[in-house]
Amino acid sequence: MIPKLIFGRTGHESTRTLFGAAALGRRTQAEADATLEVLLAHGVNHIDTAASYGDSELRIGPWMAQHRQHFFLATKTGKRAYAEAREEFHRSLERLRVDSVDLLQLHNLVDPAEWEMAMGDEGALRAAIEAREEGLLRFIGVTGHGVVAPRMHLRSLERFDFDSVLLPCNYLMLQDPQYAADFQALVALCRERNVAVQTIKSIARGPWGEKEHIRTTWYEPLEEQEDIDRAVHWVLGQPGLFLNTAGDIDLLPRILDAAERFAGPPCDDEMRAMVAKRGMVQLFPRE
């Protein structure tokens, strides 16, 4: 089975590989139900979705009548103003068919102007805190994309005691000295405060560019099982990190298989060889 770890201060023992439910955004209910069987077979007990992930919340909703107690359930709001965030969150509860979620995250909060709005007196954070006080959620997190994510998360943690963060992490991104320094500073603070650290883009090969999009991920992922093994094992080899699966249900079994077989991280020589062989490039190049 996939290794488990206590998810920060929540007390929940989550599988270190979490289901990234963006993969359900454009799928039928039948496809979603087949995906649930994959999750149950591998013992995955943590779902991460968002209001903006197409039909994802709608696809998860029917699962909850029978399986709510089996999953730590997280969603996200991308709204920045109080009223809009509150309305979107209540819509998420309806779509998920639940009375409460375990974690609500402020989605991709990296733009400075949006950050000021969301963290202000009339911002999305107020809506999350209010919902927590009403018993509609238990924990509050923040997520981010791009190379500025760790730095902005550090800023967010200075303003509010978030319970979790989420940001990109893969071998190639951590070869960027500035990103690596910011990432490690964030991880150190999160470890000190017992804040859960979730990672995304573990199997990113690079942007699609002119290639045909054969997956539902917005980036080109690694495809071969041996490559996915290395990428997944490298992330899981970083102590304390959680890995969110990629946004394609057809790749999900390969990622979960890799996670089940984790015994330690690959060496740098293996990772460098894979980068060269597959022509991997930075997903978020610096301008």
Cα gap 64→154, rounded to integer Å: 34
CB neighbour burial string for 126-157, b if at least 16 within 10 angstroms, e if fewer: bbbeebbeeebbbbbbbbbbbbbbbbbbebbb
**Paired tokens of 25:** 């955004």
The pLDDT of residue 286 is 77
Dump pLDDT digits (tens) for 175-230. Answer: 999 999 999 999 999 999 999 999 999 999 999 988 999 999 999 999 999 999 99
The pLDDT of residue 26 is 96
The pLDDT of residue 287 is 66
Average pLDDT, the chain: 97
Cα gap 108→142, rounded to integer Å: 7
Dump pLDDT digits (tens) for 23-66. Answer: 999 999 999 999 999 999 999 999 999 999 999 999 999 999 99
Q: Work out the angle at residue 93's Cα, subtended by the Cα atoms of residues 89 and 94, and round it to the nearest 5 degrees.
A: 115
**Paired tokens of 126:** 């107020």
pLDDT category at 1 given cuts 50, 70, 90 is: confident
pLDDT category at 281 given cuts 50, 70, 90 is: very high
Which of 142, 145, 146 minimizes the C-alpha distance to 154?
Answer: 142
The pLDDT of residue 15 is 98
**Paired tokens of 227:** 């490559």
Say which CATH superfamily domain 14-278 falls into: NADP-dependent oxidoreductase domain (3.20.20.100)
Cα gap 180→156, rounded to integer Å: 18
Amino acid at 34: A
**pLDDT at 264 exceeding the cut of 90:** yes
Spell out the SS3 assignment of 100-144: CEEEEEECCCCCHHHHHHHHCCCEHHHHHHHHHHCCCEEEEEEEC
Sorted by sequence, the CB contacts under 8 Å of residue 31 that are 6+ apart come out as: 24, 249
Spans of all domains in the chain: 14-278
Cα gap 55→65, rounded to integer Å: 18
When pLDDT is averaged across residues 167-176 and rounded to a whole number, the result is 97
Dump pLDDT digits (tens) for 111-154. Answer: 999 999 999 999 999 999 999 999 999 999 999 999 999 999 99
